[in-house]
Structure 1
Amino acid sequence: MDHHDDDHDRGLSHDLQVIGEKIVERRRALAWLASVGGAAIVAGSAAAQMSRGSVTPGGVITVGGGGRSTPTPTATPAPTSTPTPTATSSAGCLVDPTETAGPYPGDGTNTSSGSTSNVLTTSGIVRSDIRSSFISSTAVAGGVLVRITLTVVNVNATCAPLSGYAVYLWHADRQGRYSLYSAPAESYLRGVQVTDANGQVTFTTIFPACYDGRWPHMHFEVFSGLAAATSGRYAVLTSQLAMPSAICSAVYADTTTYPTSASIFKGVKLSTDNVFGDNTTAQIAQQTPTFAGSTSAGYTAAAVIGIAR
């Protein structure tokens, strides 16, 4: 029979010793449990802070989930929007080049048949429809209708329109003749207008012919005001407008109205013209009016005239 070494039935002294040892072990156990519980409470508190997120004095956010520290993000500036371009003297407009007034300006700068011809000092020169003569004849110049609007701007003020300026426009008729000169009895296709608040003037006229030696064109002079224009010889700019090639071809196809222009136009080039030929691409672009319309209904045209004020 097996016998077990039990802790009972061994006497009072033995029992007291065992009880003392148990008390010591219990105290150690309680101390251990207390230490473990405190650590657990601390850990729980730290975990709670991590889950909420806290910022250290160094600018570091401590975040839960792995306990990885992430630097405080630096605010990224909002993207700077690209400004809308505005017209400038280098991009929106430029100074029109000064060109010759040619042999037929009628502005008092030359003579015709031995006498000075200055239509600018003649009553009736201020008009928008320049198709008719107004001095000694009332003949009306025939041809394809053109209503052209010219806008005078100041290139030194971001292309601001110039109001109150006077524009004198003149050009050849459908046969390549100029009134007061090669058509001495006529005064048509010449006129002066004053720019409005938008810096604009509009002339009703006809499409000019193409004549020997020149690309089809219109002449103009700009004056600081009407008084300067009608006094004569005070222009702040003298220049010319080049007619667009495609419109020239369309208009000159009517050889009844424009009897000689089609054949002459085949032999001229804008690049070798003695007025436009040495201009830059940008200058030519500004000197060439935009056209809309047709030969039957007529055309509207527009161009910018840049001067430095």
Structure 2
Amino acid sequence: MQHGQPGKGVATYQGRPLPRPDEEVVDQGLGFDLGTMGRRRALRMLGLGATALGLAACSPETSASTSASASATSASASSGEIPEETAGPYPGDGSNGPDVLQQSGVVRSDIRTSFGDASGTAEGVTMTLELTITDLANGGKPFAGTAVYVWQCDREERYSLYSDGATDQNYLRGVQIADASGVVRFTSIFPACYRGRWPHVHFEVYPDQASIADAGNTIATSQVALPKDACDKVYATAGYESSVANLAQISLQSDNIFGDDAGASQLGTVTGDVTSGYTVRLAVGVDTRTAPAR
């Protein structure tokens, strides 16, 4: 298939052969990720000049990836900064195909439904995602006014705009502006667990609402990991059947994103239940003095 989907093996992505055809697009390694992101974003991600990037490209793929990830985790652990992570192949921010951030209506709190010309709704157990953004370059004060873009897969393991059966939808994507306490809240659904990845939600932080016009303006890119206890309970409900087997084959320790520290600083705290819905909270420290991932 030309475009890979969670839960399905692919041979190519955007016409490029996958170095690991039996793995997901998000698991193809550093070299493939750099080719997907493009030169400018790769330089920003690594914090390297052109010469250094060339040297990195000559290094073994797994070694470079592990070194970069370990360094980012170590720095984050000591500073309180949220670890920088890949946005993956389905960002919808214009860096890899579709750009939902250019559409009127993307600034919204309830992201369960599509907007604009799309009209679909993502079904599943209700989840409220609450992120508290702090400005580490300013003494850890609330980072009021920042724009936070979140996106995730649906109950059927699909990403809107990209996955078969959901390319005409833009649900489970939206932007909120941090209030005076640095807080943003989204009403969503609990995402599925697709093969090869621990259940998660992606997010990008921008300096302000005007900045979302260009994905290159991000000041942080990361992911929220969801606790296993809540996952087990949600996946026991109708519609999430495939997530049960997928979750059984992955752990926070083996996940290619959260595995460095088992998601220590990215694991959300959860309250609620499958009937009334869950609330997932995470503190997100952002340091504008460090190089962003994108």
Q: TM-score, normalised by structure 2?
A: 0.69
| Other-structure match for 2:219 | 236
Stretches of structure 2 that go unaligned for 5 or more consecutive residues are: 1-74, 289-294
Alignment-mate amino acid for residue 252 of structure 1: Y
Residues 76, 82 of structure 2: 8 Å contact kept: no
Alignment-mate amino acid for residue 156 of structure 1: A
Find the residue that maps to 1:264 and give its secondary structure.
helix
1:185-244: CA deviation from partner (whole Å, max 9, x where unpaired): 110000000000000110000000000110000000000000001344311111111111
CA shift for structure 1 position 293: 0.5
1:28-73: CA deviation from partner (whole Å, max 9, x where unpaired): xxxxxxxxxxxxxxxxxxxxxxxxxxxxxxxxxxxxxxxxxxxxxx
Alignment-mate amino acid for residue 189 of structure 2: I
Find the residue that maps to 2:253 and give its secondary structure.
helix
| Other-structure match for 2:83 | 97
Give me the whole-angstrom Cα distance separating, in 2, the residues matched to 1:124 and 1:211: 28
| Other-structure match for 2:95 | 109
The alignment status of 1:226 with 2:209, answered yes or no, reads yes
Find the residue that maps to 1:248 and give its secondary structure.
helix
Aligned residues: 212
| Other-structure match for 1:41 | none
- Structure 1 residues 279-294: aligned runs within 5 Å: 280=261, 284-294=263-273
The root-mean-square deviation of aligned C-alpha atoms, in Å, is 1.8
Residues 193, 247 of structure 2: 8 Å contact kept: yes
Give me the whole-angstrom Cα distance separating, in 2, the residues matched to 1:209 and 1:90: 27
Give me the whole-angstrom Cα distance separating, in 1, the residues matched to 2:176 and 2:210: 12
Find the residue that maps to 1:285 and give its secondary structure.
coil
The alignment status of 1:302 with 2:281, answered yes or no, reads yes
Over alpha carbons, which structure has the higher Rg? 1
| Other-structure match for 1:269 | 251
1:145-181: CA deviation from partner (whole Å, max 9, x where unpaired): 0111110002233421110000000000001100000
Alignment-mate amino acid for residue 195 of structure 2: D
The answer to which structure, 1 or 2, has the higher relative contact order (CA under 8 A, 6+ apart) is 2
Give me the whole-angstrom Cα distance separating, in 2, the residues matched to 1:273 and 1:159: 29
Residues 95, 305 of structure 1: 8 Å contact kept: yes
In structure 2, do the counterparts of structure 1 residues 131 and 90 end up closer, same or farther at CA, with 3 Å as the change threshold? closer
Report the identity percentage: 47
| Other-structure match for 1:202 | 185
Q: Which moved more, 1:260-269 or 1:156-165?
A: 156-165
Residues 144, 207 of structure 1: 8 Å contact kept: yes
